[in-house]
Amino acid sequence: MATWRLRRAGAALAASSTLAAVLAASSASATDPSAAALEAARQRVARSGATPPLRDAQRAALAGSTPAEPLDVLVVGGGATGCGVALDAATRGLRVGLVEREDFSSGTSSRSTKLIHGGVRYLEKAVFNLDYGQLKLVFHALKERKQVIENAPHLCHALPCMTPCFNWFEVVYYWFGLKLYDLVAGRRLLHLSRYYSVDESVELFPTLAKNGHNCSLKGTVVYYDGQMNDSRLNVGLACTAAVVGAAVLNYAEVVSLIKDESGERIIGARVRDTLSGKEFETFAKVVVNAAGPFCDSVRKMADSTVAPMICPSSGVHIVLPDYYSPEGMGLIVPKTKDGRVVFMLPWLGRTVAGTTDSNTAITMLPEPHEDEIQFILDAISDYLNVQVRRSDVLSAWSGIRPLAMDPSAKNTESISRDHVVFEDYPGLITITGGKWTTYRSMAEDAVNAAVMSGNLKPANGCLTDNLHIVGGYGWDPASFTVLAQNYKRMKKTYGGKVIPGAMDSAVSKHLSHAYGSLAEQVATIAQNEGLGKRLAHGYPFLEAEVAYCARYEYCESAVDFVARRCRLAFLDTDAAGRALPRIIEILASEHKWDKARKKAELQKGREFLETFKSSKNAQFHDGKHNGLGKRLAHGYPFLEAEVAYCARYEYCESAVDFVARRCRLAFLDTDAAGRALPRIIEILASEHKWDKARKKAELQKGREFLETFKSSKNAQFHDGKHNGRS
């Protein structure tokens, strides 16, 4: 409840302060060029229906640059840092292009821990090593965490994280350390840390073990960190950069760098559009290399003899069913048996657990190894009172951290996680290292270096510390209620008939958080174009989102959508595989694909999903069963099996007994209860050997009973099943 209040208050404050800031900017703009530029950028991003230019227009803008009229900055890499650089440079009034050989956020940026760290581990090092440099990192991380959450309020929120303590020394150690962290954080604090007793801890985190490591739990200490939807934030950065003037292009691979006539400076790149196969040249005064783990390959295009400076580290994460962690509470163990950090975090209705940290090779599609998955399962099982099974793994993935290194270093734990910006060839600025939390300041440092290298003339300074991404302006935590009240999901049946369905709370909340103030555009497509069906049973993702992302978010393939727009691949790999054909069908309609392209997309999608090591255990996937495992009403957890159980063991002698006094559906949703009556009666008839007359009487009695419940008869808020009347 505290988390909910914090998220609501924080986002509401952000939304209200946004409007005030825009108004204040107009009064200051007459004397401050940065204020005028910030006001203009905010207005472009905040305007209703802010959508980026079409992909063809972006490609033309890049190809239209010449040696005589080059771009100011060309960014190579469309991850968090690269898109951050493009946004920063564009809002400074520079001419900016960005190319990404795959999709935005296709690499490390979509495979993160989903946390926006506030630097709590740096504080421990600062205190024990008396290291002022580490303390500065704490301040920096706290500042940047605050900015990330404020600039994307619909995609980021505060998350309480619980640390279990199995002796009193740990209680004192962690409590004191986190209270010191609260003090250091000051006004950037998300919420005060506190100690919880054993009983309080188990109430907050029911699966937490009371005994472990040959000792009993003494309590827990809870502090707050930030959490995000990483790839949607990354895509939002790309779209925001495009809205403010940057030419961003995914599926555009740099095949070579272009040097000036003397061969002493980089002045552009030759790029292949991998969707069309065509190549073009784009020229820029400065090229910024933000290719993440692949930045050494870009550096070698300038100088083949350059020494590598990336130490790739593999971070594996797994996704488990939601019952492993409660909604709104994470579990973080700072030090396991072998000194690693492990965690379990609620994320998009599931549980993310991790992680590993080991040397790895650099590949386009890294895969987790079975021993890494088992390590995570073993590590978290030490702290839970339930059996952790390999068969519960819905998805598992590996991400490559691009750590800047001394080439002789072997142990990734000794390598700095801080970022590095340098120019080892004139005209080519490389930025690497760092983490999601500090992407904005990393981008600012890179643009500052580019301005110096190219003697660029920006119209103003950096503005991104006060600029929301698209969908952030005008968003409020209660925005989902507008969707639920004003929109319907028009769904096509298998027979081709279009029927209305409910814009239920799960769907409307998902759309509101995924798209922010732009969610109404998605809801409009769902309502007006018959794309209101869910893509996968048990998940809130709609067919309308595929069309929206194809039109307005540069979604060019099925993998783009299933992995980086809706995140289904990360949440439930098998469900994503079942959704692929319908996703491809909608994308084919949007992009005019032929049969060959659709077949290739299906094959590519399946190959991609094979790299996510799910358990292939359908028990936790789409919920389709042949027995009494079906739900009695859409949107409610009541099962057919409950009717049989109550008839056998709870003296349930009528349909009214069940619908009113066993499962309470009559009290929750009268119309849904009415629609469930026939199936309830059918099961009860089987249990009690009723004849046709008794079944008919039960139906009549049930309807008369429900008539005494004065519902609104408004199907919009019920179970989503309708007879065609809108």
Query: What tens digit of pLDDT does each residue of 333-351 get?
Result: 988 777 788 999 999 999 9
- CB 159, CB 225: distance < 8 Å: yes
What's the pLDDT at 266? 98
- Angle at alpha carbon of residue 145, lines to 143 and 150, rounded to 5°: 95
3-state secondary structure of 202: helix
Q: Which residues contact 375 (CB under 8 A, 6 or more apart)?
A: 356
What's the average model confidence in pLDDT over 509-532?
96
3-state secondary structure of 289: strand
What is the per-residue pLDDT across 186-230, written as a single tens digit (0 to 9) for each? 999 999 999 999 999 999 999 999 986 678 999 999 999 999 999
What is the per-residue pLDDT across 390-400, written as a single tens digit (0 to 9) for each? 999 999 999 99
What's the pLDDT at 713? 56
What's the pLDDT at 184? 94
What's the pLDDT at 620? 44
471: number of Cβ within 10 Å: 27
Q: Which residues contact 94 (CB under 8 A, 6 or more apart)?
A: 72, 73, 447, 456, 458
Between 160 and 15, the higher pLDDT residue: 160
Q: To the nearest whole number, what is the mean pLDDT of the chain?
A: 89
What's the pLDDT at 417? 60
Least confident segment among 279-288, 318-327, 626-635: 626-635
What's the 3-state SS for 1-29?
CHHHHHHHHHHHHHHHHHHHHHHHHHHHC
- CB 416, CB 295: distance < 8 Å: no
Between 724 and 558, the higher pLDDT residue: 558
What is the per-residue pLDDT across 424-437, written as a single tens digit (0 to 9) for each? 899 999 999 889 99
3-state secondary structure of 226: strand
What's the average model confidence in pLDDT over 71-80?
98
Enumerate the H helices of 152-293 as residue ranges: 168-185, 198-204, 230-243
Domain 480-620, CATH homologous superfamily name and number: Alpha-glycerophosphate oxidase, cap domain (1.10.8.870)
What's the pLDDT at 616? 57
Amino acid at 153: P
- CB 118, CB 141: distance < 8 Å: yes
What's the average model confidence in pLDDT over 660-687?
93
3-state secondary structure of 72: strand
- CB 257, CB 428: distance < 8 Å: yes
What is the per-residue pLDDT across 492-512, written as a single tens digit (0 to 9) for each? 666 667 778 778 899 999 999
What is the per-residue pLDDT across 86-97, written as a single tens digit (0 to 9) for each? 999 999 999 999
Cα 717 to the center of its chain, rounded Å: 27
Hey, where are the domains in the chain? Answer: 32-109+231-309+415-466, 480-620, 640-717
3-state secondary structure of 53: coil
Asked if pLDDT for residue 720 goes beyond 60, the answer is no
What's the average model confidence in pLDDT over 603-610?
96
- CB 78, CB 22: distance < 8 Å: no
Between 360 and 225, the higher pLDDT residue: 225
What's the 3-state SS for 294-328?
HHHHHHHHHCCCCCCCEEEEEEEEEEECHHHCCCC
- CB 521, CB 533: distance < 8 Å: no
Count Cα neighbours of 488 within 13 Å in the Cβ-side half-sphere: 21
32-109+231-309+415-466, which class in CATH? Answer: alpha beta
What's the pLDDT at 291? 96
